[in-house]
C-alpha cells in the first residue's frame, strides 16, 4: 500500500516538473495568456536596477579597476563568459572593500534580543 502511494506521489511530481519545463508553458508563447496579460517591458530602470547601477559605479568598479589583471580580462569583448572570472572578481572585491563597523550587519544582529530567553 505504501509503495502505491509513493509511486503516485513521485509520478505526480514528475508530471508537474516536466510540465513546467516545456517551452509551451512560457507566457510569451501562450497566445491565450498573452491576450489576457501581455508582457510589457519597461524602458525605464526601476528601483532595484537603479540601486544596482549606483553600487556598481560607486563601489564595485573602483575597487575592481585597481587590479590590472582583472581589468585586462574585461577588455577582451569577443570571448565567452566564465563564471571563474566573476568568482575571482568577487574574491578580490571582498578582500579590498572598505570595512566599517557602522556598516556591519553582524553588530546589528548581535544587538537583537535572542528569541526564547526569559
Separation of alpha carbons 115 and 118, rounded Å: 9
Task: Show the cell assigned to 75.
Answer: 577588455
Handedness of CA 30, 32, 35, 37 (dihedral sign): negative
Confidence of residue 45 (pLDDT cuts 50, 70, 90): confident
Report how many helices (DSSP H) and strands (DSSP E) the chain contains, helices first: 7, 0
Q: Are 96 and 59 in contact (CB under 8 A)?
A: no
Separation of alpha carbons 111 and 106, rounded Å: 9
Q: Are 23 and 30 in contact (CB under 8 A)?
A: no
CA angle centred on 44, ends 38 and 46, rounded to 5°: 95
Summarised one tens digit per residue, pLDDT across range 53-94 is 999 999 888 998 888 888 777 777 777 878 888 898 999 998
Confidence of residue 116 (pLDDT cuts 50, 70, 90): low
Which residue matches cell numbers 568577487?
Answer: 90
pTM for this model (two decimals): 0.48
Amino acid at each position: 500500500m505504501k509503495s502505491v502511494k509513493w509511486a503516485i506521489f513521485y509520478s505526480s511530481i514528475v508530471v508537474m516538473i516536466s510540465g513546467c519545463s516545456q517551452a509551451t508553458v512560457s507566457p510569451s508563447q501562450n497566445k491565450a495568456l498573452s491576450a489576457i496579460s501581455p508582457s510589457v517591458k519597461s524602458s525605464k530602470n526601476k528601483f532595484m536596477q537603479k540601486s544596482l547601477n549606483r553600487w556598481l559605479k560607486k563601489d564595485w568598479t573602483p575597487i575592481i579597476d585597481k587590479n590590472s589583471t582583472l581589468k585586462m580580462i574585461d577588455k577582451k569583448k569577443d570571448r565567452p563568459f566564465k563564471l571563474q572570472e566573476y568568482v575571482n572578481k568577487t574574491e578580490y572585491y571582498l578582500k579590498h572593500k572598505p570595512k566599517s563597523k557602522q556598516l556591519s550587519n553582524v553588530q546589528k544582529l548581535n544587538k537583537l534580543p535572542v528569541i526564547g530567553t526569559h
